[in-house]
Each structure stands twice: as C-alpha cells, then as structure tokens.
C-alpha cells in the first residue's frame, strides 16, 4: 500500500466517526466571514445541543478564562470571548465527543487523551502569550495533533501495532519509524483526516507540522501557529514522560527559541500547565490517569543531575549547544539562500523581477494554465522615444524614468499580475485568469497612468509615454510555448509603435484542446 493509498483509506474509513450535526454547522459558520455571522446565529446552532451548551458555559466560567462574574448564557459568552473563540471551543468539544465513540479496550486511550490534553493546554497557554486571537485554534490543533495514531490503529491495526511496538522503545522516534514502515507519519495522517472534515487549512497545517516537519515552508500566522503546536508537543512529551526529565532545560531553550517567548513567561506556563490539564479533563469528563506537575519534573531533573558526573553533564550541555548551533546555522543558511535568490531574480535598478525570473514564471504559469484550463495574458510595454530622453537629459534621467515606470506598474496592478523588466526600456506584465476585456482595461490604465504622471528631474518636469501590446489566451493547450506567447505580445507592441505610439494594441486567442 502506497502512502497516498493509506491516506485515502484513512480519509474514507468507516471506523472513525462522522462529525455531529452541530459540529458541521459550526464549521459552516467558521468558514463564513466573521462580519456575516451574528451572535444569534451561532447561539441558535449551539443551543441545539444542550450538553454542548452546558460544557461551554462551564468552560467559560472555569479558571481557564478567569472571568470575574458568572456567565449565565451563551450570548454573554459570545459577547465576552468573541465569535471566533466560542466557535472554536464548540467545535473542539463536538470533535472530542465524536472521537470518544471510537474508544476500545485494546487501545490505551487514557494515555492518548493525557498526551492530547497536555499538548492542547500547552498550545493554548503559549498562544495566549504570542497570538492570543488564535489561542483556541491552538488548543484544537494540540488536541487533535495525534489523531492519526487513532486513525492508523483503527484502519491498519496489524501494521500499526508493529510500529507502536518499535516506538515504545523511544517515543521520540515514532514519526521516523512510521515513515520507514508506512511511508507516512501520524502527523500527516492527522492532517489528512482534518482536511476531510473541512477544518480550516491553517489548523490542518499546524497539526501536520507538529513534529517540526515543513514548518519553514509555512508563512505568517500559519507558521506561527505551527511553531506553537510544535513547541507544545515537545512540552507534552516532557509532562507525559515520553522523554526523560533531565531534558527539561533543552526543551525550554528550544521552546523559547521557536516561539520567541521569554523564559520567565515560559516558566509561568509550565507552573500552571498541569492544573489546566486536570481542569480541562474534569470539564470534559475524560479519564487521563495520573498527571505530573512542573515541580515533580524539576525535582526529577535535579535528582538526575545529582547522579551524573561532571563530565557527563558537560557532554549533555555540549550536545544541546551543538544542536542549537546547527539549528541556528540552518536558519542562517535559509535566510541567506532566500536573500541570494531574491537578488538573483530582481532587477537592481527598478527592484522588480528581472528577465530570468520572468522566463521561469512564464513557464510555470503556462503549465498551470494548461493543467487547469484557465486564461493567461501577457502585456509587453516599451517606452516611447527613450533614447531621446537619454541623449537629452543623460542616463541618470533615463534611470529615473525606468524606476518611475516600475512604480506606475506596481500602483496600477496592486498584486494582480507578475511584473518584470524584460530588458532595456521594455517591461512585461503576466496575468492569469482574467478576461480579454479586463486585460484591455488594465493595459489602458497602465498607459494612462504613465502618461499622466510627470517625472521631476532637476528643475524640469518630464513626461513620458509608452506603447503596449497584449496577447490574451482564453485557454491553452500543451502545444503553446512561452516563445509563441511572447512573439504575439511583441508583434502587437510594434503594431502600437507603428500606429503612432502611446497606445494599446491587443489580440485574443481561444485555443481548442485536443
């Protein structure tokens, strides 16, 4: 069985529960724009499940939120916590109830829920310090991060028992063993299952990266959430004794480095973590077995240190230092590589993409347009009488004009298309999924903007114009080449030149697929 076949089997398994109707409705509201969802609509959906309503109110009134007065209704809870938080809380409770129906005697659910709740609580506490608006999403991501383990146990029990048997020797190597024996990790399985439930992609990405894989490929808030869940998983491994207590300092150091949280704030989180786990387990009526608090972990770590010889301690510290150095070096090289690639693909004068970057982007967009059968258009722009400006006012004025054209293109396009300097005084704009009429309007707006803006050079105001040629393809077949698209746009550009300059000429094609 290939890894993709295994993921598909997990997505389609009958051994895992379907989402409750309330959860489906909450997901629908979660995918809606927050401005379009009223308090009353969310309250009406949740109140269809009285048990869920009671759990939410108990949670809101618990020490987890520290609200000074008692909240007696869902509407009050929504007003105080906001739509986003209450939706995520309701969704997490519904998912937990659904998963609990899968509990069997041959799987250690007590350990599973203890690890999951610890990861969820740690993720929420870390997020409250770093990205408070996503604290409840962090809780859900931590709670469902190991869902793939349950899925694999239900779908391929014989194979997965062998994986767990090897993983028991060192739980930190579980993902490695899964990859070797199954071709896929439980983090990837968790992500696939959550995607089949149509959970938000940001949350799915955080679950898929909770052991550190592919975090660097994420960006923005999605990456920040993944970093928090990754750190929370490490903390949960420590509190669930999957890793020895003597690694406490190393875990703390990595957590601070990954999330950017201070050591003082992290200490506050670790001190309260066990209380949050037990409070949450009580509210959800979940059996999590014996938990340990931070003081116990510190005591065990101190006891271990006392038993170690000085040399062994030095070696351990050196090992942590080297690991941190490697991570730092990898991060530095990643930043350096990114900077080098940006320089290599950017025109130094205009600070937009250069010819090489354009050639690569055109090939990529052409492949994508062929595969998805959507439109692709190319606008070529050439400054009128540019040699006259260079000869009359000097090359510095010419450079100023080229930078001015780049600014005009950026202002008009506002991220709609890909802009590059093609060479000399020629520029290109690549636009996907737009009609020929829209491309024509866009090209005309570019022409008018260039013509209308004066360029201050010394004590003079210079006015420049440009001729534009556009080639628009409604759809493309694999037989169309980048060279053909460039040739058609270039032909229209020179037609605009011959027709008197400062104008737009364009052609449109409907390519019939074989």
Q: Please tell me what DSSP assigns to residue 63.
A: T
The residue whose two tokens read 């940001």 is 202
C-alpha–C-alpha distance, residues 44 and 281, integer Å: 26
C-alpha–C-alpha distance, residues 26 and 21, integer Å: 9
How big is the CA angle at 284 (ends 280 and 286), to the nearest 5 degrees? 95
Other beta carbons within 10 angstroms of residue 299's beta carbon come to 13
Other beta carbons within 10 angstroms of residue 511's beta carbon come to 17
355-509: CATH architecture: 2-Layer Sandwich (3.30)
Output the CATH code of domain 105-307: 1.10.3210.10
Q: Please tell me what DSSP assigns to residue 353.
A: B
Check if the beta carbon of residue 215 is closer than 8 Å to that of residue 226. Answer: yes
Ordered alpha helix ranges (H), 345-385: 355-372
- What is the pLDDT tens value at each position of the chain, 514 positions in all? 677 777 777 766 655 656 667 777 776 665 544 455 666 777 787 777 777 777 778 777 777 777 777 888 877 877 777 766 776 677 777 777 767 666 666 778 888 889 989 999 999 999 999 998 888 789 888 988 888 888 888 788 788 888 877 756 555 678 888 888 888 888 988 888 888 877 778 888 999 999 888 898 999 888 999 999 999 999 999 998 888 888 889 999 999 999 999 999 999 999 999 998 888 888 777 788 888 888 888 888 777 666 655 566 667 777 777 877 777 777 766 666 665 556 578 998 999 999 999 999 999 999 998 888 889 999 999 999 999 998 889 989 999 999 999 999 999 998 889 999 998 999 999 999 999 999 999 999 999 999 999 998 888 889 999 999 999 998 787 788 999 999 999 999 999 999 999 999 999 887 644 4
The residue whose two tokens read 């300092």 is 249
- Rounded to whole angstroms, the maximal C-alpha distance in the chain is 89
Domain spans, the chain? 17-101, 105-307, 309-344, 355-509
The DSSP-derived string for 146-209 is THHHHHHHHHSHHHHHHHHHHHTT-GGGHHHHHHHHHSS-HHHHHHHHHHHTT--HHHHHHHHT
Which SS3 state, helix, strand or coil, does residue 427 take? strand
C-alpha–C-alpha distance, residues 373 and 371, integer Å: 6
C-alpha–C-alpha distance, residues 497 and 502, integer Å: 8
Topology agreement, domain 105-307 and domain 355-509: no
Phi, psi of 504 (to 5 degrees): -120, 130
DSSP collapsed to 3 states, 393-413: HCHHHHHHHHHHHHHHHHHHH
Check if the beta carbon of residue 225 is closer than 8 Å to that of residue 138. Answer: yes
Interior/surface letters 372-393, b for 16+ CB within 10 angstroms, e for the rest:
eebbbbbbbbbbbebeebbeeb
Closest CA to 453 of 493, 406, 508: 406
Residues 6+ apart with CB under 8 A from 201: 195, 222
* pLDDT at residue number 40: 77
Pairing of strands 426-432, 455-457: unpaired
* pLDDT at residue number 32: 46
Residues 6+ apart with CB under 8 A from 318: none
Check if the beta carbon of residue 120 is closer than 8 Å to that of residue 140. Answer: yes
Question: What is the Cβ-side half-sphere exposure of residue 107, based on CA atoms within 13 angstroms?
Answer: 20
The number of angstroms, rounded, from the C-alpha of 149 to the middle of its chain's C-alpha atoms is 23
Closest CA to 291 of 243, 337, 253, 239: 239
């Amino acid at each position: 069985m290939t890894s993709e076949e295994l993921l598909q089997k997990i997505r389609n398994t009958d051994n895992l529960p379907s989402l409750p109707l309330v959860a489906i409705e909450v997901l629908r509201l979660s995918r809606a724009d927050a401005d379009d969802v009223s308090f009353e609509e969310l309250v009406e959906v949740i109140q269809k499940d009285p048990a869920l309503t009671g759990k939410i109110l108990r949670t809101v009134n618990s020490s987890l939120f520290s609200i000074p007065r008692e909240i007696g209704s869902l509407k009050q809870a929504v007003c105080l916590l906001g739509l986003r938080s209450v939706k995520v809380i309701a969704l997490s409770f519904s998912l937990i109830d659904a998963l609990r129906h899968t509990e069997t005697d041959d799987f250690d659910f007590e350990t599973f829920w203890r690890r999951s709740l610890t990861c969820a609580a740690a993720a929420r506490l870390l997020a409250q310090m770093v990205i408070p608006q996503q604290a409840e999403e962090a809780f859900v991501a931590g709670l469902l991060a190991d869902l793939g383990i349950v899925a694999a146990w239900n779908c391929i029990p014989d194979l997965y028992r062998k994986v767990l048997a090897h993983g028991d020797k060192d739980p930190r190597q579980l993902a490695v063993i899964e990859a070797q024996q199954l071709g896929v990790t439980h983090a990837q399985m968790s992500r696939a299952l959550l995607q089949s439930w149509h959970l938000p992609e940001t949350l799915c990405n955080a679950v898929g990266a909770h052991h550190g894989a592919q975090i660097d490929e994420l960006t923005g808030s999605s990456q920040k959430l993944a970093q928090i869940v990754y750190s929370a998983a490490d903390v949960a491994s420590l509190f669930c004794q999957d890793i020895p207590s003597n690694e406490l300092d190393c875990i703390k150091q990595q957590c601070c480095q990954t999330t950017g949280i201070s050591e003082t704030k992290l200490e506050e989180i670790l001190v309260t973590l066990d209380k949050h786990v037990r409070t949450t387990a009580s509210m959800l009526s979940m059996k999590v077995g014996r938990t340990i608090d931070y003081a116990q972990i510190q005591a065990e770590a101190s006891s271990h240190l006392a038993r170690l010889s000085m040399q062994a301690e030095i070696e351990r510290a050196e090992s942590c230092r080297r690991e941190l150095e490697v991570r730092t070096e990898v991060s530095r090289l990643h930043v350096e590589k990114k900077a080098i690639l940006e320089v290599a693909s950017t025109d130094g004068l205009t600070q937009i993409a250069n010819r090489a970057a354009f050639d690569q982007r055109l090939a990529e967009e052409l492949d994508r347009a062929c595969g998805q059968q959507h439109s692709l258009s190319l606008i070529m722009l050439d400054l009128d009488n540019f040699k006259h400006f260079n000869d009359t006012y000097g090359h510095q004025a010419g450079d100023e004009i080229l930078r001015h054209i780049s600014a005009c293109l950026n202002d008009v396009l506002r991220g709609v298309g890909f802009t590059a300097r093609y060479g000399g005084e020629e520029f290109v704009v690549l636009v996907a999924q737009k009609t020929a009429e829209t491309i024509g309007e866009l090209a005309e707006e570019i022409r008018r903007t260039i013509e209308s803006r004066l360029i201050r050079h010394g004590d003079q105001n210079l006015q420049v114009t440009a001729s534009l040629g556009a080639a628009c393809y409604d759809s493309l077949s694999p037989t169309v080449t980048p060279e053909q698209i460039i040739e058609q746009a270039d032909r229209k550009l020179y037609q605009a030149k011959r027709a008197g300059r400062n104008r737009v000429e364009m052609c449109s094609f409907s390519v019939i697929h074989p």
